[in-house]
Every structure is written in structure tokens, then in C-alpha cells.
Structure 1
């Protein structure tokens, strides 16, 4: 999440962030930010952090090309301060998590002994580097000389077991930097670690597809970043919480 996106953080705090425990499973939420060179903005972030105690800030400028630094910093922080965690969900600010479905889904993995080497996401298996210089995702041959990317997780969200987080953090010390965070994290690191990516059948769908139906996907993507749609989706999730009947 961008440092100046106060509204986005407050939206999450007032929706999914209101639930700290579900089915006796404790949840912790943190917002990962980079640095800003705007001193007024930094002061506002520090006040926000003191108030909510849910912000961690790395020692790098927060920018699109520094997302890999943000990923590695997140892995470092979880590795250092989340000793009792079982799973970690990494998500962008345009994702709404379906807590009444996600928690039982992960609890079942614990019960059945399938809580190790978990890396679940929307998998991208066919993608090629962008070589057009004016494109946002332009990458030079020096940065990436190959004609195709390895399979990787779409950057908007992923589920990892805690052992995967720890192994990825250790592996990041030996993998050369690439600014494409999703390609680096779930592409390079998971290849080195010989991890298999899995995309559950009902992993993610657009918010507009699920606003008024039973919410049977683990995550909902607010493609247009419309806060009203996010609120409406959360209302749909909470409305069905007691009578959710989905098979994943």
C-alpha cells in the first residue's frame, strides 16, 4: 500500500480489519510501507502508526520499482516477529479477503497435515517480458535476458505457509535482484526452493462478479479500486457468514 493511501488503510480497518479472531483462530494485520521523502506525509504516517499500531515501514523509497524490496522486507519482518504464525496472506490494497471462507479453508489444511510447502495464488504460466520502452512494465535485456518468464503468482495476493515465508527470506539473500516483485518472489525464489504453486478452483474473482451472490471465492479483486464496491462486497461477505455453504 502506498504511504499516502490513508483512506485505503482505514477502509481495511473498518471492514476485514474489524475481525481479529474467527473460529478461535487469531489474525494479525499489518500494512507494509516504504519510506517517503515528504516530511509532512512521514509525520502523518507516524501519528497513524501510533494510533493503530499496525504499520511497518522499511528503509527504502516506496515506489513501483521498489516493490521487490517491500516483498523481501515483509518476508524479513514475518520471519523475525511472527514465530507462532501458521499461514501468511500477502495482499494488495485492492483485495477483499473472504474471512468466513479462508479461515476454515486453512484450518482444514492444519487438520489434514497439509500445512507445509503451501504456496497458493492466481498462477501466471504464460507471460513474456515487455520490451517497449514506454510501457510501465518495460524490462531491459540486461535485467532479464530470456524470452519468457517462469510461472509465477499474480502479485495481488497469495497464501503461504510459514515455512515457505522463512525459506523464501533465506533464499532472497542468494537470488539477484529483479524489480518485478511477482516474478522475483514466486518465480525465482519458488524455483530455487522447488516449491509447487497451486491455484484453488475458487481462488479469486472480480468484485463486480460477486457483489450480490453467495461469496464462494477466497478473495475478491476490486479491479477499479472503487471503495464503495469494496464496502458492498464486505457487506455481502458478512451477510452470508452464518449460512455460507461453499465447496472449495
Structure 2
């Protein structure tokens, strides 16, 4: 993999019509081995503290939905289970849902999570502290888990727990794809610069990332991936140093190093609040103002709409 990558390295290329610098690629492909020794990211020494390994066993899974959720977000997980997460089959296509969590130091909260896991059998929990700065560990843990326990899947979707999926629109969309490999679709960003002010939430030091712009990457809330892309990105984790901005690392560095192109589909994602009275013609909706009732209203709108094949998004 690495020889192939090195031979294709250039300083400036055109990507989806834009000229972008690839200095970061040269940097990462020549990184010292001491930066590739992280036990979880590079050696994949993950332990599933909670597991639901039977999700994909002895069955054909068309779509696996990985929902990245914070340990304390019990209500958000409940909403998902009672809306789109209640659909396990659509158009005769099997769908599985898994909530991805890290560890909590709160013993009471951990007991509640364990009870939740026993009740619903849809939680996996990795051996890392669940925090914003550790989201990259969660991303790689997701890749690890799919490769180990659900490698017979056709598509994988990674979402945050504030996303509503338009299942009646999504399944036909995926089913109609002529090529079901090398699929990576998302809201992608090009030319984004690192934040250099220390007080900023996303402050990135020059030692963490020394270049002026990030590579093109998938914004964090949702991504659609084919099974081969999951495998290739998982392999690429052994070549890329840890970087704490999960969407840049998992949605940018890994696809770039594994030579996976990013596509931003039409009708991909829309703010949920602005869509409650619209025809539901987008694949994903994001609960941007975190209103607890909006996902239920949106899901009812989706359920009641029967003309998905005629959808024209605005």
C-alpha cells in the first residue's frame, strides 16, 4: 500500500475541480515509526467492554448504522430506537444499528449503560475514555469492530446521535447504485484551515498539524461507506499518526491515504428544524438546535410520505 502511495504523491493536484496542496501527504508518508506505535490507533489493541457481536452473525446485512453517542446521551439513543432505528428491514434489505461508546468514569452511569446494553443488545463500548478529544479512538474502534464482527455487510453508515436517517429514501438510493465498491459519500469540505487561536474549541498546534489547510474531508455528522472502504481505511490507520480532530482524521486522512475519493450527493443532508413541513427528500437530517420533539415529528413526516421515488430536494 505504501509504495503505491509514495509513487502518487505530488505537491498540488486538482480534486473535484479544486487545486489543493498535498504537503500533508508527503509528511505523513515519511513519518517516523515512533509516531506509529499508539496501542489503539496503530496496534488495534481494542477491547469491547460491551459487545453485540451477534448483530451480523449468520445473516446478510445490507446496511449497518454506527451511531457515535456519548455515554450520558440515554435520551438521544431512546429517540433513535423509537424512530428510524425501529426499522430493521426495508424493501427486503436487512438493517442493523449499533451505538458506539467509550468508557465513563461514573460508576452509576456505567451500570445504567450496561443495563441498557443488556436490554437492547445494540451497544458496543471501547476501552478508551469517552470524550471529545478521544473521538478519533472511537472512529478507529468502529472500523476495528466492523472488520472483526460485521465484515459481511454491504454498506456502513456512521452518524452522530443528533441525526435522523430517511430510511425510505436511503435504502432505494443505496440499492440502485451500479457500483457498490469504493463508495464514500458525505458532506465534504475543501480548503478548511486549522484554528490557531488557543481559546478555540478546535485549536490545533503547529506540532499537531503544520500545514496551512486540511485535506478534503467528510464533515462529522454522517458518512456512507461501502465495506471495502471500511477495510481499506482500517488498514490505513497503521500508517497515519494520531490526530485528535476525528472528522479530519477519519474523514480526510484515512480516505486520502487509502486513495478513496469523496462524493457529496445531491439531497444529502439538511437541518431538521427547517425541514419539518417540507417533503422529506434528503438522506439525512441534523437536529441542529437539539430539540427533543423534532426527530419524532420528522420521522412521522417521513413515514407518512410515500412518493420517495419522485423526490426533488431543494
Q: Which TM-score band applies after superposition, normalised by the shorter structure?
A: over 0.9
- Who is 2:43 aligned against? none
TM-score of the two chains, using structure 1 as the length reference: 0.96
Match of 1:56 among 124, 147, 151: 124
Matched ranges for 1:34-183 at <5 A = 34-109=102-177, 112=178, 114-183=179-248
User: In 2, distance between residues paired with 1:147 and 1:125?
Assistant: 12
Q: CA-to-partner distance for each residue in 1:63-92, whole Å, 9 max, x for gaps? A: 000000000000000111113210000000
User: In 2, distance between residues paired with 1:235 and 1:125?
Assistant: 35
User: In 2, distance between residues paired with 1:24 and 1:82?
Assistant: 19
Deviation for aligned residue 1:94: 1.0
- Who is 1:190 aligned against? 255
User: In 2, distance between residues paired with 1:226 and 1:126?
Assistant: 31
Moved over 3 A (4+): none
Mark the CA change 1:76 to 1:88 in structure 2 (over 3 Å): closer, same or farther.
Answer: same
Match of 1:232 among 297, 305, 311: 297
Q: Secondary structure at the match of 1:30?
A: strand
Name the larger-Rg structure: 2
Q: Secondary structure at the match of 2:96?
A: coil
- Who is 2:307 aligned against? 243
User: In 1, distance between residues paired with 2:98 and 2:143?
Assistant: 12
Q: CA-to-partner distance for each residue in 1:181-232, whole Å, 9 max, x for gaps? A: 0110121111111111000011011112211121111101111111211111
User: In 2, distance between residues paired with 1:186 and 1:32?
Assistant: 17
User: In 1, distance between residues paired with 2:123 and 2:184?
Assistant: 25
State yes or no: 1:2 paired with 2:70.
yes
Q: How many residues align?
A: 244
**Higher normalized helix content (fraction of residues):** 1
Deviation for aligned residue 1:124: 0.5
The more displaced of 75-84 and 160-169 is 75-84
- Who is 2:58 aligned against? none
Q: Tell me, which stretches of 5 or more residues in structure 1 are unaligned?
A: none
Q: Secondary structure at the match of 1:57?
A: strand
- Who is 1:26 aligned against? 94
TM-score of the two chains, using structure 2 as the length reference: 0.76
Q: Secondary structure at the match of 1:236?
A: helix
Deviation for aligned residue 1:247: 5.3
- Who is 1:12 aligned against? 80
Q: Tell me, which stretches of 5 or more residues in structure 2 are unaligned?
A: 1-68
User: In 2, distance between residues paired with 1:169 and 1:247?
Assistant: 35
Deviation for aligned residue 1:42: 0.6
User: Superposition RMSD on alpha carbons, in Å?
Assistant: 1.0
Matched ranges for 1:209-224 at <5 A = 209-224=274-289
